Amino acid sequence: MRRWSFIRLALGLVAVAVIPPLGLLVVLASCQPQPGRPWFWLSGGLTVLGAALGAVVVAWCYYRQVERQVDTLIDHCHALALGGSGTIRDWPLGLDQLSRLGMAIQVLREALVDYLSLYRRFFEAAPDMFLSLSPAGGRILDANQAFCQAVGRLKSEVLGQPVDRFVTLEQGWGAVLAGREGLHKGQIATDRGIMKIEANISLERGPEDQPWILGAILRDVTQQEELHRELIRKSTALEKALEEIKDVEELKDQFLTTLSHELKTPLVALKGFLQLLRQGQAQGEQAQEYLDICWRNLTKLERQINNLLDLARLSHAKEQFEMGPVELDTVVRTEAENLRPVAAEKQVRMELALPPHPVVVRGNAEKLVQLVDNLLMNAIKYNEEGGSVRVVLREEGGQVQLEVSDSGVGMAREQMAKIFNRFYRAEVSGSGRLEGLGIGLSLVQEIVRLHGGDIRVESQPGVGTTFTVTLEARS
């Protein structure tokens, strides 16, 4: 292009330089040219024509050069508009105004390129994933590094692809592309698993309000959601713990009430009858009767206090218990005999099924007596008038099983989960009197644990309950 313009300029100069001298030569050749002679007019005419022709050629060449340089600048501006960043190659050289215009465009270009690269850096370095999408088909027009890394693809593999190949939205891309801007939840399948995302979608419109480009900022919320779930899990656990604390508090209140009642009640009878005896208001048989009442209540009190103290000692394991061979069948027989009056008072029948030979376990005699006593007492207490208590003792495969069944009120499943809780006392329907601190079964459990044994309970409401204690037989 540049070479041709020089040739055209040279031809113009030749025309200007050659044609007027040619006319002058014709004039000189006609010797003494005089006005009015033909040679004179011919030579004059040729000179003017040559000059005019030369001027036209020069003007045309100049015009063409300006047109070319303007075209170059326009082409360059178009290239810039389309995102090109190359410099102007055919730089306007000779024409000062155009050269300055070109320089201004160049400066503008540099500034735009600077801005562009600045935003590009933000775009690429952002930790969030940026996408620009075509509003018609949802194809990816541009994507930053964060997005390419998340999907594990090169940018060239991502551009031009439909966005739903990589990103799934809960509401589907159809609704979003139809113009539902705003925050959407979704996910991206990555090499490391599913990434939960939050997509902020905005639709950019063109100058005539036509959908131009869809911008999507995707944020990884996997950790956030995990935290959220963890928070919910912990707050649920806390709520449960709070409920349990409330239950324990309630149980504690109930226990204090029970304790107060159970300890004070025998004391009331003791105090009252002792006072009568002290004041000499009873003689002979009546005095003996009062003394019997006092003794009974004293024993009751002693039993409650012992249970309470034993439970405290056993739970803190502060005491070492002497272990030795204990004949469990004898313990059962003796305790059943001791409790027979209590059972008789409630009209409860007691049946024993004991093996003919001694059943020996290794344990603490006193604690095993307490265990059997509490189990039998419970079976009588929660029984109905006219009911029965059956005690079975058997030895099998190096293990001893003690089974205590009652034909009492029985328990529902949720109640069974609580019976070993300290201070828990089962609700009893009917009008039976319920004594005790609610620590009997808790104590039984502690004693079984102390002996390395196991206790289980089976019950059916309205049918009865069976407690089975398994202990190691003495080898």
Instruction: Give me the residues that bind another protein (CB under 8 A), please.
Output: 257, 260-261, 264-269, 271-273, 275-276, 281, 293, 296-297, 428, 430-434
Beta carbon nearer to another protein, 235 or 299:
299
CB 265, min distance to another protein, A = 5
Cα 394 off chain centre by:
53
Please check whether residue 188 is in contact with residue 151, taking contact to mean a CB–CB distance below 8 angstroms.
Answer: yes
The three-point CA angle 103-105-106 to 5° equals: 60
Beta carbon nearer to another protein, 206 or 430:
430
Which residues, at least 6 apart from 446, have a Cβ–Cβ distance to it below 8 Å? Answer: 311, 314, 315
Beta carbon nearer to another protein, 87 or 299:
299
Closest among 48, 86, 68, 96 to 2, alpha carbons compared: 68
CB 272, min distance to another protein, A = 4
CB 382, min distance to another protein, A = 13
Residue with structure tokens 């376990």? 361
Cα 341 off chain centre by:
62
Which residues, at least 6 apart from 282, have a Cβ–Cβ distance to it below 8 Å? Answer: 276, 289, 290
SS3 273: helix
CB 304, min distance to another protein, A = 13
Beta carbon nearer to another protein, 95 or 293:
293
CB 282, min distance to another protein, A = 9
CB 378, min distance to another protein, A = 17
Beta carbon nearer to another protein, 113 or 259:
259
Beta carbon nearer to another protein, 130 or 273:
273
CB 303, min distance to another protein, A = 15
β-pairing, 388-396 vs 349-353, is parallel
Q: Which residues of 158-174 are buried (b: 16+ CB within 10 A; e: fewer)?
A: beeeebeebbbbeeebe
Beta carbon nearer to another protein, 84 or 386:
386
